[in-house]
Amino acid sequence: MLENKVGMIFGVANKRSIAWACAAACGEKGARQAFTFQGDRLKESVEKLAGELPDSLVVPCDVTDQAQVDAAFAAVGAKYGRLDYLVHSIAFAPREALEGEFVTTTRDAFRTALEISAFSLTQVSLAAAPLMTEGGSIVTMTYYGAEKVVPNYNVMGVAKAALESSTRYLAADLGKQNIRVNAISAGPINTLSARGVKNMGSLLGYVGEKSPLKRNVTAAEVGNTALFLVSDLSSGITGETIYVDCGYNIMGI
Ligand code: 1JT
């Protein structure tokens, strides 16, 4: 399904990462993929995982450093000569911003969360577009806390609201180049990022009981939706936020 397609995956930390589930689903369908990592501590882990897939590339990319972003896309251009899809699965907020009350969010935490979690989508979309010469698909990850208040999600909710809105504005701009931009709103998953969050266990239990499917979503299910969004099966979908949350978001009480 993705034979002759080239993808670029942002946000793999380990095998539980949503980004890795996306890459594994797409790799199985024949895509070649480049992986970015942030900081030396993730280099080995990402190189090991990427090594499981044929003809992959691993490049450093801290999105707060424009030179690294430019170099990462230059490396993809040099190796593959093109890009068909991009998976953006990165977010960050200082730990203390994800507990207590939103009203105490500092200027610094706000700036960092919005820069890394929301602005980076625009940044990588601009860099990706010239390589997407035959059209393309960009997929990002969001969460329900963008729309409704979820205790402790705080500034990440504000950042995800900006990310979802950015998805629509980017879709409008890039549509003329046949580049589609969509977001997946995933239910909570026990990844490395989520692990650092207080009361993640009880959140997972609560969502698992309340959702129509009476369970939590898996990273593999998010990966399969990313596969759909990067494939031609979704050729008429852009600017959309698709829920992959076992139906949790449709419930009132
Ligand atoms: C970040 C973290 C972004 C955790 C994230 C995230 N997007 C979803 N999660 C999981 C989560 C976190 C909280 C939550 C519900 C789900 C941690 C590092 C920074 C980026 O609140 C109930 C806080």
- Give yes or no for residue 55 having a pLDDT over 90: yes
Helix, strand, coil tally for the chain in percent (to 5) = 50, 15, 35
Distance (angstroms) between ligand 1 centre and the Cα of 212 equals: 22
- The whole-angstrom separation of Cα 121 and Cα 166 is 8
- Distance of alpha carbon 137 from alpha carbon 15, whole angstroms: 23
- Dist CA 79 CA 50 (whole Å): 15
Residue 199: per-residue pLDDT: 87
Report d(CA 186, CA 184) in Å as an integer. Answer: 6
Which among 96, 110, 153 is the best mutation to test ligand 1's pocket, defined by most ligand atoms within 8 Å of the CB?
153
d(CA 77, CA 73): 6
CA 213/CA 217 separation, integer angstroms = 9
**196 CA closest ligand 1 atom index:** 17
Q: Taking a C-beta distance cutoff of 8 angstroms, is the pair 56, 33 a contact?
A: yes
* CA-151 nearest atom, ligand 1: 22
Instruction: Choose one of 63, 88, 143, 216 to mutate for the ligand 1 pocket test, by most ligand atoms within 8 angstroms of C-beta.
Output: 143
Burial 92-118 (b: 16+ CB within 10 A, else e): bbeeebbeeeeeebeeebbebbbebbb
pTM of the model: 0.98
Catalytic residues: 143, 153
| 3-class SS of residue 223 | helix
CA distances 163 to 76, 131, 194, Å, are: 24, 22, 19
CA–CA gap between residue 94 and residue 12 (Å, rounded): 19
Atom of ligand 1 nearest to the CA of 91: 20
pLDDT for the residue 37: 98
CA–centroid distance, residue 248 to ligand 1 (Å): 17
Q: What is the pLDDT of residue 109?
A: 98
Q: What is the DSSP string of 94-113?
A: -GGGGSS-GGG--HHHHHHH
Residue pLDDT, tens place only, 198-243: 889 999 999 999 999 999 999 999 999 999 999 999 999 999 999 9
Instruction: Tell me the CA–centroid distance for residue 193 and ligand 1, in Å.
Output: 7
Domains of the chain from N-terminus onward = 6-246 (3.40.50.720)
Residue ranges lining ligand 1, Cβ < 6 Å: 91-93, 98, 143, 150, 152-153, 156, 188, 193-194, 196-197, 203
Query: Mean pLDDT of all residues in the chain?
Result: 97
- Ligand 1, atom 11, residue with closest C-alpha: 194
Measured CA to CA, the distance from residue 157 to residue 235 in angstroms comes to 29
Burial class (CB in 10 A: 0-12, 13-18, 19+), 130: exposed
Q: How far is the CA of 31 from the centre of ligand 1 (A)?
A: 29
- pLDDT value at position 196? 83
